[in-house]
Amino acid sequence: MNKPRTPAPVRRALASGLLAGLAALAGCTGPSPGADSSGDSAPRPSSGTAGTGSASATATPTVAPPPADGGCYRLTSGELTRPSSSAAPVPCTAVHTARTVFVGSRGRPEAICPGRLAAFLGGTTTARRLSRFEVVWFSPTAAESQRGARWFRCDLVAFAVRDSLLRLPGKHLHGVLDRRRALDTYGLCGTAAPGSARFGRVICGQRHSWRAVRVVGLRGRTYPGVAAVRTAGQRTCQKTAGARAGKRLRFRYGWEWPTGDQWAAGQHFGYCWVPSTS
SS3 string of 83-103? CECCCCCECCCCCCCEEEEEE
pLDDT of 272 > 70? The answer is yes
Distance CA 26, CA 243 (A): 19
Exposed/middle/buried for residue 255 (C-beta within 10 Å: 0-12, 13-18, 19+): buried
Phi, psi dihedrals of residue 125, rounded to the nearest 5°: -60, -40
pLDDT of 251 > 80? The answer is yes
Angle among Cα 183, 244, 188 to the nearest 5 degrees reads 25
Q: What's residue 35's pLDDT?
A: 39
Beta carbons of 265 and 11 less than 8 angstroms apart:
yes
* pLDDT tens digits for range 13-59: 322 332 333 334 555 555 444 434 333 333 333 333 334 444 455 55
Average pLDDT, the chain: 82
| pTM for this prediction | 0.79
Q: What's residue 194's pLDDT?
A: 87
Distance CA 5, CA 197 (A): 7
Q: What's residue 204's pLDDT?
A: 98
